[in-house]
Structure 1
């Protein structure tokens, strides 16, 4: 089988086996239908994106931090329409750390590469070192993580396999762990990319200049030149640099190639350069949108004097500005699809859009054969901030409505379940058993990462909708429709007992980002610590609409 057929088979297998190919979002679709697209192409928190072209197909991964499964794998045929086809990481080690909600830890700024018939992803865990996974099929299965380099502080790693078979690794440094930063280092790995065989060499120093906070480097080779493309200047306010050298160890020439300019796109930087099979060049980067996280934009790349000018081409010089609307990339195929948001929970496996806040345990919950997902109450006397079985997904747009039909089964007092907007500040609309009735409550915390307490407001008292008729561990049940409306960073809650008439309740909540991630939406189920039998929520469906 020739190489083109192999790549086509991989792409087809990924889409047919794992894809959610026909889903078109009601709340964000970048395709304007006239041969143009509007940025962002991914209006969700796929922070620190990296992307590769393999034949006519494109694959993207992004930071996942402590959210699991991690290392999302997205596929596209045209760089505009994307679908989530899997994850490369099921668990993080050590489990003693990541079984809990280790906010902001874990996977930082991965890179994805295709080498010698296999897909590779490298990432830096700032606390434990540099890791790698690989796979024949980007949809999986992926290998277990291999620790390539042990140590603290190494982040944002990217390999480069040279024509002579040698392998190099570039990375940045986390000041919070190493107590130095704003430098970029290169070292050599063995030909398999599994261990370092040289010491790191500083090839760029941004200290004391506007190029502070240089990080997120990506390594390339083009026409005999080694290229490191990286952001600098800060996450929300920075710009994109391109550096070139005739040697992987430098010295490097450096130019700014993309900045905000007169556009509303702040901090357009950190991402991946793609040379397509159609002979075009594009760059995918993030924009930090605060509570919504870091969304992904697509910019054309024009080579001027052997420098990659990104976005709108200036009259002179090499620094472009982001384009909000642009022509579609030339491509062999177009698939009209977007990442899935809604879920009817009819499949015997959890939808790919969902992530836990820690390493999955079976006691968190599981799919069922009767068209609901069962989320068990997590036993804890701590706040929601410390709950790892939060079942969450990324916010899909600036404005949307998320509605869930669910039933709380409560066997004991204090068992609680409902929907949540999660971040450093969070607010949840939940039902809680008290006596033989249920309380509808809004649970809110401001500054959860600082250890602040939750504010609980009771909004209504509800009688059970049903109850077990047996004496053995009986439960009472409350079936409700819970809804959140999100617009311009504000959340308004409502509920219904029949799915037709909704009543607004609680206070308007101002969204806030999580630890290095955007705010996330989904489900929470809790109960006081102890030896009582768990309760649960059965989620019938979750629908994202305008």
Structure 2
């Protein structure tokens, strides 16, 4: 069981969110009351990390004119290498995929019992030079692949380099030459040939030796006249080291951490090991050991002259997510974080400055009624699809999957997936089973290791609704005469559990099977993926499964699970090690929440305001509230309140031993023993 659960005051909503598919960047993805899917934009001039609450790993970001462009790892899913764009680094829209399919043999097609799980496209570097967009990416067992386009919408061309350069990054220097760095701990550099397919003979050298403190996942820049490299260190305590030099060949000075220990207070969840089920699942580990920290990314400058950092962190079973960080330059280093709290990223902060206010956008619409001529961009195939064994036109308004022979969901071909989204979500698939053949299995899966699914099996005697858990090997089964079925998975990525249910009328859902455990694992090197599947267990092609609709319900699509209670009197009390304590270290405190703009609040008690001095000391003072009385109102991923002082850029805390209240914490710890978390209720409630 997870150490943290949401405070009792936080209720899990079950708002029904159904809509027709809209274009990926369309405002139709939103209602007047807010987005139907996660957005980092809070609508008040601030944003809350992560930028996307679905997996976007190994991000790289460039700026071309007024637009920022981003891509990231897609492993074995097709199409790959999504291109997103934004004008404010917070609101992103989908542009294209650089890669339709990557067919490198039977493993990439799930043939001959082989698979490419956890392989394929990873750790891309994104660049723009002389009117050309470049993406360089690693591929397991192959040389580095290069993708180019003059327009990020495509078409994209693809060619292979002559070498494999692990976790590479490319820099086009001021002299027009292109240089590449790569490696793990020991960092190597070489000049690239003009066609970008090889290194120039005699130019390869080691610029940073192993043991210097650098890791992998490098990003190569020229900033303010110096050469900078950021990297990721993942053994033990995750962090982001950086190096700098006056000349491209060095010597390089290494800073061991420009970002460290930032996990937003999220505890490490379940971890899986082993090769066959039942897998060994390690329990959640709440210790603040640095294993969840932001650790791989880079930096970018905006047209307004602001500097921002982007990086990813392991967010447990939902996958590796991307976050945005303000950059503070100090002693010539670009530290993630704010003055007074370098290396730490506030989960909620003010958005980057732009000339005009940017509309709230999200990259993907998740709901699909399959009425279009093409799949909407959120969908990706699990491995290379069989082109003539699926269709949107054979039965208009349906996704038809022809079942092919497979021994399990894991090896089923033409499984259509999209990334699961947190912190909680409920995918529902509608299936017409009329055309299933004997031996066919079809339904809604959670692709992971271990995986689980709910669906329908066609046997000689008829249909059965079945729920299967790979970890336990158990099937829950109930016979049915219905041909039209609804399958649902209630996924809670904070407790890391999922519960399956089904319906024969779309209104009343019946649970089936035991709850399943969701884990972070490195076999697929991805988070959980919602999946629509069909396969035949009799070793031959079967019938077809017709999916009529797919929807995703998200009860918490913004950075605050509860709105800031401006103008209200609330009772504020500690959580975890300081549960039940108030702001004076005694009983829970009643305060009035005063709106200070930009998602900030002053806390009024009687005639005074809670005030913070430069050294973090806290007292009640009278007068008009200002910076010293202002706190950024932030929630941890699990929903507790944390208050960051604008005076110190550090967090309010109740010392668990002395009960003294100060504003000197760098951020909430994952074990909740530091007194930084609070819960609030209506005063007198």
Alpha-carbon offset, residue 484 of structure 1: 0.8
Q: Scaled by the length of structure 2, what TM-score is found?
A: 0.68
2:59 matched to 1:49?
yes
Deviation at 1:34, TM superposition (A): 1.3
Stretches of structure 1 that go unaligned for 5 or more consecutive residues are 1-15, 173-180, 447-453, 466-477
Q: Is 1:537 matched up with 2:537?
A: no
Question: What is the alpha-carbon distance in structure 2 between the residues aligned to residue 21 and residue 78 of structure 1?
Answer: 16
Q: Distance in 2 between matches of 1:18 and 1:337?
A: 9
Which residue pairs with 1:226 in the alignment? 227
Residue 517 of structure 1 corresponds to which residue in structure 2? 526
> The residue matched to 1:102 in structure 2 has which SS?
coil
TM-score, normalised to structure 1's length? 0.85
Name the CA shift for 1:262/1:122 in 2 (closer, same or farther; >3 Å). closer
Answering whether residue 515 of structure 2 is matched by residue 491 of structure 1, we say no
CA shift for structure 1 position 171: 1.5
Give the deviation of 1:149 after TM superposition.
2.8
Tell me which structure has the larger Cα radius of gyration.
2
State whether residues 417 and 530 of structure 2, in contact with CA within 8 Å, keep that contact through their aligned partners in structure 1: yes
1:444-463 matches, cutoff 5 A: 444-446=469-471, 455-463=473-481
CA distance in 2, matches of 1:186, 1:124: 16
Determine whether 1:419 maps to 2:421: no
Deviation at 1:411, TM superposition (A): 4.7
Tell whether the 8 Å contact from 2:413 to 2:535 is kept in structure 1 after alignment. no
- Give the C-alpha shift of residue 388 in structure 1: 3.6
User: Is the contact between residue 109 and residue 383 of structure 2 (CA under 8 Å) also seen in structure 1?
Assistant: yes
Q: Which residue of 1 aligns with 2:170?
A: 159
Matching residue within 341, 366, 386 for 2:411: 386
Quote the Cα distance in structure 2 between the aligned partners of 1:226 and 1:218.
11
Cα shift readout 1:419-453 (whole Å, capped 9, x = no counterpart)? 0111111100010111241011112213xxxxxxx
Distance 1:233 1:437, change over 3 A: closer
CA shift digits 1:481-527 (9 cap, x unpaired): 11111112211111111111111111101112452111111212110
Whole-angstrom distance in 1 between the partners of 2:172 and 2:302 = 19
Distance apart, 1:17 and its partner CA: 8.7
Is 2:228 aligned against 1:203?
A: no
Q: How does 1:162-311 map to 2 (within 5 A)?
A: 162-172=173-183, 181-198=184-201, 200-207=204-211, 211=213, 214-234=215-235, 237-255=237-255, 256-260=257-261, 263-264=264-265, 266-311=292-337
SS of match in other structure, 1:506: coil
Q: Distance in 2 between matches of 1:296 and 1:41?
A: 6
Q: CA deviation at 1:124?
A: 1.4
CA distance in 1, matches of 2:434, 2:248: 60
Report the equivalent of 2:509: 502
Corresponding residue number in structure 2 for 1:399:
424
Q: How does 1:67-146 map to 2 (within 5 A)?
A: 67-100=77-110, 101-143=115-157, 145-146=158-159
Measured after TM superposition, the shift of residue 114 of structure 1 is 1.2
In structure 2, the partner of 1:470 is: none
Q: Which residue of 2 aligns with 1:329?
A: 352
Q: Please state how far the C-alpha of 1:31 moved relative to its aligned partner.
A: 1.5
Alpha-carbon deviations, 1:387-430, whole Å to 9, x = none?
Answer: 24221111121201111111124453111100011111110001
| Distance of 1:169 and 1:269 partners within structure 2 | 21
Stretches of 4+ aligned residues off by more than 3 angstroms: 16-22, 529-532
Any conservation in 2 of the 1:441–1:456 contact (CA below 8 Å)? no
Q: Name the CA distance, whole Å, in 2 between partners of 1:442 and 1:499.
A: 18
Residue 283 of structure 1: how far off its partner (Å): 0.9
Distance in 1, Cα, partners of 2:167 & 2:409? 30
Q: Secondary structure at the match of 1:78?
A: coil
Paired residue secondary structure (2:43)? coil
Q: What is the CA–CA distance in structure 2 between the aligned matches of 1:343 and 1:98, rounded to whole Å?
A: 26
Structure 2: where are the runs of 5+ without partners? 1-21, 267-291, 556-685
* 2:78–2:100 contact (8 Å) kept in structure 1: yes
Mean CA deviation greater in 216-225 or 22-31: 22-31
Distance 1:340 1:205, change over 3 A: farther
Distance 1:445 1:129, change over 3 A: same
Q: Which region of structure 1 is more displaced relative to structure 2, 502-511 or 385-394?
A: 385-394
Cα distance in 2 between the residues matched to 1:483 and 1:250: 56
Q: CA deviation at 1:27?
A: 4.6
Equivalent-residue separation in structure 1 for 2:127 and 2:320 (angstroms): 22
Q: Displacement of 1:458 after TM fit?
A: 3.5
Counterpart residue number, 1:10? none
* Distance of 2:26 and 2:186 partners within structure 1: 41
Name the structure 1 match of 2:398: 372
Q: CA deviation at 1:371?
A: 1.3
CA distance in 1, matches of 2:263, 2:444: 39
Kindly provide the CA deviation profile for residues 195-223 of structure 1, in whole angstroms up to 9, marking residues without a partner as x.
Answer: 2114532222344x7x37x1110111123
| Aligned counterpart, 2:676 | none
When residues 226 and 118 of structure 1 are mapped into structure 2, their CA distance, relative to the original with a 3 A threshold, is same
> 29, 38, 53: which one pairs with 1:28?
38
Shift in CA distance, 389/20, structure 1 to aligned 2, threshold 3 Å:
farther
- Are the aligned partners of 1:51 and 1:112 in contact in 2 as well (CA < 8 Å)? yes
Q: 1:459 to 1:187 in 2, by over 3 A?
A: same
Once structures 1 and 2 are overlaid, which stretch shifts more, 21-30 or 431-440? 21-30
Query: How far 1:76 sits from its partner (Å)?
Result: 1.5
Distance across 1 between alignment mates of 2:476 and 2:264: 44
Distance 1:274 1:23 in 2: 28
